[in-house]
Amino acid sequence: MKKSIVYALAALTLAVPALADHHMSNTAEHDKMHKAHQARLAQILADPDRANDAKRDIYRHPAETLEFFRVHPDHVVGEYAPGGEWVSRILGRYVNENGKYTGLYFGTKTFFSDQQKQGLTAAVGKFASDVAAVSGRPEADFNAFSLSEIPEGVKGTFDRILVMRMMHNIMNWNIADAEIKAMRDLLKPDGLIGIEQHRAKADAPYSYTDGSKGYIREADIVKFMEVNGFELVAKSEINANPKDSANWPDGVWTLPPALRLKDVDRAKYTAIGESDRMTLLFKKRN
């Protein structure tokens, strides 16, 4: 739910092969590299330092999700609106010296107040040092920038961009078109965007799926991405939760981990667990 970034500013093998875009003809080499990537990620996820993060792995499915998004250690990977949370703590260690992990922050020219822009500038400035502290690697291995201030020479250099439970915010704030188009410019011709998002029911009314409740209809995300120059290449139910009725008056924050209603029906919402989520993979359409 990306609370930290919002507040600051105001090992299963899947059907989709993780290394498919390397176009390797040598199956043995392909399998060897795939297993090496899986082992690297498994070692990171098993680290005792992840004890707090690991408590929510049953809802986040980090190994399965990153494999579905086809993230490789040697990729240039961007995370949109990183909150310095579990994704950062994994990618900061998973991406190796041949790759790059970059924080992509909201465009400052869209809607932010001066105070929020100051918070954004602070978050961008701290990203590299925060990730370096977790990964034990030098700050130079990481960088960050706002999508309205893209550095020269980085367009067309990203292999993957991840948008983790943020589509509802940027749609609700009416900045989704500009943000997604900017991300598209960053991707290589065969680059991919992975989206994980709280999923509304297919027949949910627009008043509930405009982003204000945290839920978006899957069909709306797919259509939106198609209009903005992407094609859907795969989708997965790895982050699905059929217990979530996705119709809470107080939105997705009714459920864990937010539990907005506090002690009201707390046991009920805890038993349901975290939200039902779509997990989608899009390719940049040339």
What φ, ψ does residue 143 adopt, rounded to 5°? -155, 170
| Cα–Cα distance measured from residue 29 to residue 119, given in angstroms and rounded to the nearest whole number | 46
160 in Cβ contact with 71 (< 8 Å)? yes
What would the pLDDT profile of 192-215 be if each residue is shown by its tens digit? 999 999 999 999 999 999 999 999
Query: Any idea what DSSP says for residue 85?
Result: S
The separation between CA 58 and the C-alpha centre of its own chain, rounded to angstroms, equals 17
pLDDT tops 80 at residue 6: no
Q: Could you identify the residue written with the tokens 């961008």?
A: 124
Q: Which pLDDT does position 115 carry in this prediction?
A: 84
pLDDT tops 60 at residue 172: yes
205 in Cβ contact with 174 (< 8 Å)? no
Q: Which pLDDT does position 12 carry in this prediction?
A: 34
Average pLDDT, the chain: 90
| Cα–Cα distance measured from residue 31 to residue 90, given in angstroms and rounded to the nearest whole number | 23
Query: Any idea what DSSP says for residue 35?
Result: H
pLDDT tops 80 at residue 261: yes
Cβ atoms within 10 Å, residue 44? 19
Of residues 8 and 165, more confidently modeled: 165
Query: What spatial distance separates the first Cα and last Cα of the chain, rounded to whole Å?
Result: 31
Q: Which pLDDT does position 16 carry in this prediction?
A: 39
Cα dist from 86 to 55, 158, 251, 280, whole Å: 11, 21, 23, 19
Instruction: Note every long-range contact of 81-85, with CB atoms under 8 Å and residues 24 or more positions apart, other chains counting.
Output: 81/2, 81/5, 81/105, 81/106, 81/163, 81/166, 81/169, 82/5, 82/127, 82/144, 83/2, 83/3, 83/4, 83/5, 83/8, 84/4, 84/126, 84/127, 84/130, 84/131, 85/4, 85/53
Q: Which pLDDT does position 233 carry in this prediction?
A: 98
pLDDT tops 50 at residue 241: yes
Can you tell me the mean pLDDT for 24-43?
A: 85
Of residues 24 and 253, more confidently modeled: 253
275 in Cβ contact with 199 (< 8 Å)? yes
Cα dist from 82 to 1, 32, 92, 219, whole Å: 11, 31, 12, 25
Q: Which pLDDT does position 110 carry in this prediction?
A: 65
Q: In the structure, what pLDDT confidence band is assigned to residue 120 with cuts at 50, 70 and 90?
A: confident
Can you tell me the mean pLDDT for 249-270?
A: 97
Q: Where are the beta strands (DSSP E) in 74-224?
A: 76-80, 100-105, 142-146, 158-164, 187-200, 216-217
Q: Which pLDDT does position 111 carry in this prediction?
A: 65
Q: Helix, strand, or coil here: 127?
A: helix
Highest mean pLDDT among 1-5, 22-26, 235-239: 235-239
Q: Which pLDDT does position 244 carry in this prediction?
A: 98
For the domain 3-284, what is the CATH code? 3.40.50.150
Q: Which pLDDT does position 1 carry in this prediction?
A: 47
Strand partners, 144: 103
| Cα–Cα distance measured from residue 283 to residue 233, given in angstroms and rounded to the nearest whole number | 6
Among the ranges given (10-14, 86-90, 161-165), the one the predictor scored with the smallest mean pLDDT? 10-14
